[in-house]
Structure 1
Amino acid sequence: MRALFAAPLGADFWKLWTSSAVTNLGDGITMVAGPLLVASITGDPAAVAGAVFAQQLPWLLFALAGGAWADRLDRRKLVVAVNLARAVALCALALAVAGGAASVPLIYAVFFLLGTGETLADTASSAFVPALVAPDRRPTANSLLYATFNVVNQFAAKPLGAWLFVIAAAVPFGVNALTFALSAALVAAIRSVPPPEKRPPSRLRTDIAEGIRWLSRHRGLRTLALTMAVGNIVFCAAFAVFVLYADQRLGLTEIGYGVLLIAFALGGLLGTLAAPPLIRRLGSSTLLRAGLLIEVALHATLALTREPAIAALMIVVFGAHTTVWGVVVTTIRQRDVPSSMFARVTSVYAFLELGGAALGSLLGGATASAYGLVATYWTAAAAMAVVALAAWRPVAAL
């Protein structure tokens, strides 16, 4: 980790990294506090799940449009404006909670606004690294950003969010509002992001179509995007019933289930440390091919084993793979996608990934109900084996 932080990436990148760290902290706090708040108002499980869905829905509705707008507007100013708007929305929610006026519809509305902001801010900020960091330093920069997510969002923020909610239900939302305000100030201080390129006026759907066409014509990135879409379908199908798998197949208690979830984050952290040297020594295509095999191995191992230790070890390996894969793919996009198209192409990726995740979550329960838990993992393993065969040659050129 020290080697990552010692990398000469420039003052503007560290402003971006700090902004990412504080927003990840705030997002993780709200990710825990939001369902807790809904559960304190109603015991309806569907209502509690709806809070998460309200924040995910904008990605399915607005991801492609968000990418088009992010390529039209000044990206730095867009991120600043969106973060300030999200801070205001969370302040309103915190005040409503403090005053005893919070309701489920209000929570849904605020979370929907937060998700809508993500489609703009996250897509626009994805284009910052290519503008701030030299090509040979981008794997390190991307690894640092992934490390921030794994350490801050996955480890630190969630217990902190629960603790803050216990202190006072309004506090976590107020803290998240402060993180967005601080992030806006940090991004406003970044000076190296160039203004948008001037181009003739066009319709929004024309801009979206250009991004889709560009991605469809790039064989390698098209293959990676489709691989991620299918991978998310089968992963989310399998892990939609993971809590039942941990109980019925592995015989774990609630604490054991929690340990397995921590194993994902641990693997992700290891992946952030390993990604830069692995990319230098093995190259992108080798790591992508290895990742395809790990995808198959995860589901096959979970289908075969009844040993918690084996399952946990495989999950750590898989968590490391997902981070290495993410760093590799992000670096390739930063290398190959033109700046004027970057947000749109990134938004197509996000749409495919989240669309796959949503579809997989629906399919997982149905498959497990019809054919049993183990069948869900065998189906996932078989599907990823087919994907690995189809993607094997295209990824060799990346």
Structure 2
Amino acid sequence: MLVVRRVVEAVVPARLGNGFRWLLASSWATNLSDGIAVAAGPLLVASLTTNPLLVALAALLRWAPQLAFGLWAGLLSDRLDRRRIVLVANAVRVGALGVLFGALVTDRVSVPVVLLTLALLATAEVFVDNTTETLTPMLVRREDLAIANARVLAGVITLNKLAGPALGAVLFAAGRSWPFATNTVLLAAGLLLVSRVSLPPRERESAGQHRDLRGDIGAGFHWAVRHPAVRTLCLTALFFNITYGAAWSILVLYAEARLGLGAVGFGLISTAMAAGGLLATVGYGWLTRRVSLGGIMRAGLIIETLTHLGLAVTTSPWVAAAILFGFGAHAFAWGTTALTIRQRAVPIYFQGRVNSIYGISAYGGLVVGAALGGPLVALLGMTGPFWFAFAGSALLVAVLWRQFGHLAHTEDPTPTPVPAGSATH
């Protein structure tokens, strides 16, 4: 028992508070469920139809809800009880999966039922993810946000990106209903765990600033545009994801044609990227004690630019795997740092809307970039998207470099909350 307590203390220190521990456990359970669905959903559709449009639609439903509902998710999390939003959205996911599981075991499943379920799951996930990001700064002291976010994103990498899809494929091979039964159990566990979270009272906008829905959304955009650090983050997410999306949209084709890899080989180099992110979770605390947040972000710009260059020139799977390993570490550090900066800079009552604006910037860049990937291959060859990404990233580094001085954000617009269940210091 003592060993278990020491492990828990090392992973989630008591100073983060019991509320954050419950939230983290819920996040890990639901991220594993989401990772399973990433593999099991398309596999189920492909087992029901060979129509490529329907199979592609299943993949589209993974990211389209963020663009369609991201702003509304942010607005609701700023207006309503955030804990209740997470509970309701997770309950919707449990119910949708329960219906799909019932259809599977009674052999009444169809493509429309599966696609509708995937759409509901992805839409509810938008509300859960956006709102969960606003809960951490309500539960954790400002000075501990970096380590708290590192623990949350460690679960995203290990469970959602690394273990979840592999487990989903294995469970699907054992039986079509198994991954969705597992999903239901995990989401129900996440629902129960987050119900244990007790939130402190939060600061709200003054009564004189009350607006209609459109006015509230406009106020979020206005705040994000006027704040130098947040504006820089949103612009960087938009433009760097255009270059990233162009290259990564054809990564599977690049791995086959340029590196000579089959499906297993592609899976291994993808795993290398996740492994790099996992390593970064261990060293992130050490890094933030020695390098400023702005410095981490600037280094990330260089790493991402050189990643595209390295993949453009190499033909070695081993070199590509090493490059992707380093990129995975950068991606984790970048994501954790960007989230921490937003949580420190944005007032509690604006965090839902600003999170959604950042998310739309990131997903919008990915959509534009993915649309460019295929034409660039046709025009410039298989490495064309990577040369485009390298040139575009290098240009963006030059343009945005000075702006990253804004990211050394020190002002604290909201009082540091006292974590539930922990002593004050």
- In the TM superposition, what are the counterparts of 1:210-359 in structure 2 within 5 Å? 210-359=219-368
Shift of 1:190: 0.5
Q: Does 1:12 align with 2:19?
A: yes
Shift of 1:177: 1.8
Aligned counterpart for 1:68 among listed residues 69, 75, 83: 75
Aligned to 2:50, what secondary structure does the other structure show? coil
- Change in CA separation of 1:94 and 1:193 when aligned onto 2, cut-off 3 Å: farther
CA distance in 2, matches of 1:287, 1:10: 27
Shift of 1:22: 0.5
Q: Which residue of 2 aligns with 1:128?
A: 135
Q: Which residue of 2 aligns with 1:163?
A: 170
Shift of 1:167: 2.4
Moved more, 110-119 or 23-32: 110-119
Aligned to 2:255, what secondary structure does the other structure show? helix
Residue identity over aligned pairs, in percent, reads 38
Q: Which residue of 1 aligns with 2:3?
A: none
CA distance in 2, matches of 1:156, 1:137: 27
Q: Which residue of 1 aligns with 2:373?
A: 364
Q: Which residue of 2 aligns with 1:32?
A: 39
CA distance in 2, matches of 1:388, 1:198: 36
Amino acid of the structure 1 residue aligned with 2:13: A
CA distance in 2, matches of 1:181, 1:97: 19
Tell me, yes or no, if the aligned pair for 2:138 and 2:202 is still in contact at 8 Å: no
Q: Does 1:58 align with 2:99?
A: no
CA distance in 1, matches of 2:230, 2:283: 23
Q: Which residue of 2 aligns with 1:43?
A: 50
Q: Deviations over 1:109-129 (max 9, x none)?
A: 111111221221211111111
- Change in CA separation of 1:369 and 1:124 when aligned onto 2, cut-off 3 Å: same
Tell me, yes or no, if the aligned pair for 1:299 and 1:381 is still in contact at 8 Å: yes
Moved more, 209-218 or 305-314: 305-314
CA distance in 2, matches of 1:234, 1:124: 28
Gaps of 5+ in 1: none
CA distance in 1, matches of 2:38, 2:391: 33
Tell me, yes or no, if the aligned pair for 2:12 and 2:21 is still in contact at 8 Å: no
- Change in CA separation of 1:198 and 1:287 when aligned onto 2, cut-off 3 Å: closer
Q: Deviations over 1:223-282 (max 9, x none)?
A: 111111111111111111111211221222322211110011011111212222111101
Shift of 1:193: 4.3
Which TM-score applies when normalising by structure 2?
0.90
Amino acid of the structure 1 residue aligned with 2:143: D
Q: Which residue of 2 aligns with 1:380?
A: 389
Aligned counterpart for 1:144 among listed residues 129, 151, 168: 151
Shift of 1:94: 0.9
The CA RMSD measured in Å over matched residues stands at 1.6
Moved more, 148-157 or 84-93: 148-157
Q: Which residue of 1 aligns with 2:121?
A: 114
Moved more, 11-20 or 96-105: 96-105
Amino acid of the structure 1 residue aligned with 2:396: V
Tell me, yes or no, if the aligned pair for 1:73 and 1:196 is still in contact at 8 Å: no
Aligned counterpart for 1:396 among listed residues 389, 392, 405: 405
CA distance in 2, matches of 1:271, 1:297: 18
Q: Deviations over 1:95-119 (max 9, x none)?
A: 1111111111111111111122122
Q: Which residue of 2 aligns with 1:180?
A: 187
Tell me, yes or no, if the aligned pair for 2:225 and 2:231 is still in contact at 8 Å: yes
Q: Does 1:99 align with 2:106?
A: yes
Amino acid of the structure 2 residue aligned with 1:302: L
CA distance in 2, matches of 1:77, 1:107: 27
Q: Which residue of 2 aligns with 1:154?
A: 161
CA distance in 1, matches of 2:191, 2:247: 38
CA distance in 2, matches of 1:163, 1:259: 16
Tell me, yes or no, if the aligned pair for 1:59 and 1:350 is still in contact at 8 Å: yes
Tell me, yes or no, if the aligned pair for 2:205 and 2:349 is still in contact at 8 Å: no
CA distance in 2, matches of 1:289, 1:215: 21
Amino acid of the structure 1 residue aligned with 2:241: N
CA distance in 2, matches of 1:198, 1:284: 28
Q: Deviations over 1:122-155 (max 9, x none)?
A: 1111111111111221111111111111111222
Aligned to 2:383, what secondary structure does the other structure show? helix
Tell me, yes or no, if the aligned pair for 2:273 and 2:328 is still in contact at 8 Å: yes
Amino acid of the structure 2 residue aligned with 1:297: L
User: How many residues were matched structurally?
Assistant: 398
Moved more, 35-44 or 252-261: 252-261
Q: Which residue of 1 aligns with 2:212?
A: 203
Tell me, yes or no, if the aligned pair for 1:147 and 1:269 is still in contact at 8 Å: yes
Tell me, yes or no, if the aligned pair for 2:202 and 2:348 is still in contact at 8 Å: no
CA distance in 2, matches of 1:196, 1:81: 23
Tell me, yes or no, if the aligned pair for 2:77 and 2:352 is still in contact at 8 Å: yes
CA distance in 1, matches of 2:335, 2:149: 9
CA distance in 1, matches of 2:205, 2:104: 45
- Change in CA separation of 1:23 and 1:193 when aligned onto 2, cut-off 3 Å: farther
